[in-house]
Structure formats: C-alpha cells, structure tokens
Structure 1
Amino acid sequence: MIYEGDLKGAQQRLRELLDGSARAVAFTGAGISTECGIPDFRSPGGLWTQNKPIPFDVFVAHKAARNEAWRRKFAMEEAFAGAQPGRGHRALARLLGHGRLAGVITQNIDGLHQASGVPDDALVELHGNGTYATCLDCGARYELAWVKERFDAAGGIAPDCPACDGPVKTATISFGQAMPEREMARADALTKVSDLFIVIGSSLVVFPAAGFPLKARQKGARLIILNREPTEFDEVADLVVRAEIGDVLAPFAGDG
C-alpha cells in the first residue's frame, strides 16, 4: 500500500502496524535529518555533489588527503554543529521509551539520535559517528575541539596521534573502509528478531547496510518505508509513505 498525500491515513496505518508489533526496529537514513538542517548526500545540492568523497586508502596513504578531509569536516561543522533533533528523531526516542521499538539501526553519523534521547545500547551506528575522532592505529579517542585546535595552530595540517603517531580520523566509515564487525552483528541480530522493520529516510542504495530491510522481509517481518522518493524496495513493502518524515512522525513525537 502506497500513501502519497493522505497523511492522516498513512499515520493511522503506521499506528496500526506498530500496535500489532512486538519487536519493531527502525532503520534510519539521511532523510530523517534534513529538517534539522543537515542536507542528504544524493539530492541536488547534497554533500556528494559538492565534494568527491576521499577513499579510505587515500586518506591513510597521503597527508594531503588527511589535511583536505579535516578542512572539509571543519567547514561543514560550522554549518551543521548547531543542528538539533527533529520530529523523526524525537518520535523514535519516544517510541523506544514506551517500549514500542526494540532498537534503532542508523546509517547516519550526526549524533542526533543520541541527542534525542536514544540510549547507546538501543542504537546501532553502521557508518560510525562524526562527532568525535579516533586514531586508526591505536584506537585512542579525540574530541573534535582537540583536533581543530591543533589543525588551526599548524596552519591546516592534520594532527597525528600523540600516543603512536597514527593518523587521526573522524570515527566514521569511509569509502573502502571495512564495516564495523560489532555493529554489523548487532544490526543483523536486531533484524532477524524483528517483526516490523521501519525504514525512515533512506534511499536504500548503500550496501551492505541497505540489505537489512530485505533480510527482515525475508525473515517474515512486515516492512514499512517512509521516504520522500521511491526506493527499489517499495514493491516488497507492506506500507510505503512518500512524504516529509517529520510530518508523518509528528504525532508519534507528541507534536499533535
């Protein structure tokens, strides 16, 4: 069933499916954060249209690539650092708090799920987190303020780890970088036990993350897709809602 324009009908059907679920899982992508002022990656004006991604092996091998990666990070940070959780984030946090969700799997790196009140033990970050940095060699954690202070003091030169001289990178998964085994295992476990899998704001084209909704459907879970644009998985979903995420989830956030 596809809803386009009938917002109240879509909200009612979503509520019915949630009421009939014992272990619902949410799967979020960039679309849940666009109303917070964070652009997505693929739409016109999205982040990938402005900067070609720096592959992981290039970042590791070349100091100049690390300098450029951090320059981009701090340029974006000025624009997005003040972003606050939107209605979609608040809705999921509220559903979790009421025991209506078993967990949240996200492709996002913006930290807005945590800021909305989603606890770490209920959140799986498949692509890492962009709100802090780590050393790729020894795993030491560094806050962004620490990196920026040294980056600026050195005239735009990325700092290395003081403990081991390894490269310091945001705690995100870059192109060509191995997916985090622990988080993939957690996502797989949640997917396998879910009876309702709710995709929110994902184009479902980035694999292996995009494989989880299909796996849930194959295991017998009902599948809901809330996204402004069509996805390749719409035809196998039980409910498709093409509308603004915040508008659809506002009642579940307590906003009416």
Structure 2
Amino acid sequence: MTPSTTKSPLADPVEAAEASDPREPADIALLAELVARGSVAVLSGAGLSTESGIPDYRGPTGRARRAEPMTYQRFVGSVEARRRYWARSHVGWRQIGQARPNAGHRAVAAMERHGLLAGIVTQNVDGLHQAAGARRVIELHGGLDRVVCLSCRVRTPRADLDRRLREANPHWHATGHQINPDGDAVLTDEQVEGFHVVDCTSCGGLLKPDVIFFGENVPRTRVDECFSTVTRARALLVLGSSLAIKSGLRFVTKAATLGIPIAIINQGPTGGDADATLTLDAPLGATLADLATHLGAQ
C-alpha cells in the first residue's frame, strides 16, 4: 500500500513522497517528529476499532454495508421502533461488549502515559480507549456501556440492562448475520417479533443507550470541551476517521484555521486531507505500534 504524504514541513517533500511502505522508517519518523513535540490532540474514528472486530460504516469493512441507523425521532416516537432497536442491540451487544483493545488503542494509551497527548476525542462508542488504559478521553457520541432514562435521566450500566432483557426474554433467541458499528445486529421482522422491552426501574421511563442517535444533538458543553482540547494542542492526530460528516470534520477545520499541524492515518481518503500536513493510508494497529516504539512510549 502506498502512503500519501502531503505538505509536510517536517521533511523534504520529495523524500517523503518516495516512501513506498506506509510503515517505512521515513514515514514513522515524520509522525514521530510531530508527536514528540507533545501536547497532541487525538481524534479517533471507527477505523481504529475494526481490528478489534467492530465494523465501520465508511472504511474498507463498511463500503458494501447498507447502513440504516436508528434516528432519535423514530426511537422516541414508535413502540415498534424501540422494540426493533433493543432486539437488534441486545444481540449486537454480545460482540461489542466482548471486544478488546487492539494494538492501535494500546499505542495511543502508551503515548498518553508518556506525556505526549493533550487529550483524546473519540467518535467511537465502544469504550476501547479506556479499556486500553487511556484516561483523558472525551466520548463525543457517548458510550454503549451505559443506558440513560429519558424521563429521570438516571444512568445505569449496560450490563444491568443486558441481564434484565435476558430475564424478560427467556425463550427468545436470535443470531444476527451482520453487526453494525453502532452495536445493533441485522435481524428480520420475524426475529424481532415477540421481543419484550424493559423500562427504567426508577421511574418507568423509556431507556435509551447513552449514545447520540442520528437527529440528536451532542451536548454543547461536550462539543466545547472537544474544541478546547484541539485549540490548546500543538498538533492534531486523526486516527481511523473518514471525516465524512461535520461531527468530526469541524475539529480538523478548527485546527487548520489556527495553523495547528494535522496528521491523518486512515485507510482510504478523508474529508480532511486537503488541510492535512501529513496523511498516511495505512493499517492503524501496526502503524501506531511502530510510532509508539519509535517514540519510546511503552
């Protein structure tokens, strides 16, 4: 795979363009020079978690997938939509809940321990950054490991809901042939039929995963915290995000406006490539592991 290295002020652009392997020393050296300065903000997307068995919507594992994610409006407005969502999510949680951090997550956590990061903003809802040991993580879109009541706003562990759903559906068994990135399995209408949804134990209100659905706004305070992480950084490192939607692209645009160097590692082009100082089309796990080793971050 040939890397795309653009507009790098850190090395001769001709020499950088001659690299033929995305993990050749010259490419890792360019990344390491940027990250070694410290105070790096990380923005991660679904591509970072594909090596943990979690699919993505737009990367190599998601290009053939027809994505029809649940919207907030459908979820709150339809009993059948909630039944369908929770049946699919109940099956999908088996895979998401058992996923483990990969080499890329571990490398990011190692760089944080080494004092190189200003913070981590993740578009992912899988909790794998934290499972790898990272501490300063802002979950832009929330986390699937929690459930929130839409009436009393009490948050409870997803493991508790999983137990309650199994108890409420002792004879219901379904296996999805495909798991989507937001944690739900693709099931037929026949498989969904007969599934029983449970409500909040505190007030009887509707339960929803503590994630941002399509059609729902990210809390302003959380967005501001993400912008703060980016604006105080010396560099922005984008990992496994196609930057195809404004949710993540806005942080790249902000960094570019402020003249903050931007490095992007992703498999495939991204919406932020034009603003990037350096881009690498390469596998995330191996590339980040090499970067951490180069930096002496163990």
**Common fold, TM-score beyond 0.5?**
yes
Q: Secondary structure at the match of 1:42?
A: coil
Q: Distance in 2 between matches of 1:51 and 1:222?
A: 33
Corresponding residue number in structure 2 for 1:93: 109
Corresponding residue number in structure 2 for 1:75: 91
Corresponding residue number in structure 1 for 2:211: 172
Question: Following superposition of structure 1 onto structure 2, how do residues 51-200 of structure 1 map, counting pairs within 5 Å?
Answer: 52-119=68-135, 122-155=136-169, 156-200=195-239
Which amino acid in 1 is paired with 2:139?
Answer: E
Conserved? CA contact 2:22–2:280, under 8 Å: no
Taking structure 1 as the reference length, the TM-score comes to 0.91
1:129-171, Cα deviation, whole Å (9 max, x unpaired): 0112111221112222322333233342221112222211111
Q: Distance in 1 between matches of 2:244 and 2:67?
A: 19
Corresponding residue number in structure 2 for 1:23: 39
Unaligned runs of 5+ in 1: none
Unaligned runs of 5+ in 2: 7-18, 170-194
Which amino acid in 2 is paired with 1:134?
Answer: V
Q: Secondary structure at the match of 2:27?
A: helix
Which amino acid in 2 is paired with 1:210?
Answer: L
1:36-92, Cα deviation, whole Å (9 max, x unpaired): 111112347639935511110111111211111111112212233221111111111
Conserved? CA contact 1:95–1:252, under 8 Å: no
Conserved? CA contact 1:230–1:242, under 8 Å: yes
Deviates more, 1:59-68 or 1:74-83: 74-83
Corresponding residue number in structure 1 for 2:183: none
Conserved? CA contact 1:90–1:253, under 8 Å: no
How many residue pairs get matched? 253
Q: 1:206 to 1:68 in 2, by over 3 A?
A: same
Q: Distance in 1 between matches of 2:142 and 2:212?
A: 6
Conserved? CA contact 2:59–2:242, under 8 Å: no
Conserved? CA contact 1:36–1:83, under 8 Å: yes
Conserved? CA contact 1:150–1:158, under 8 Å: no
Q: Secondary structure at the match of 2:43?
A: strand
Deviates more, 1:83-92 or 1:50-59: 50-59
Corresponding residue number in structure 2 for 1:212: 251
Once superposed, what is the RMSD of the aligned Cα atoms? 2.1
Taking structure 2 as the reference length, the TM-score comes to 0.79
Q: Distance in 1 between matches of 2:59 and 2:107?
A: 24
Q: Secondary structure at the match of 1:208?
A: helix
Q: Which of residues 282, 289, 294 in structure 2 aligns to 1:243? A: 282
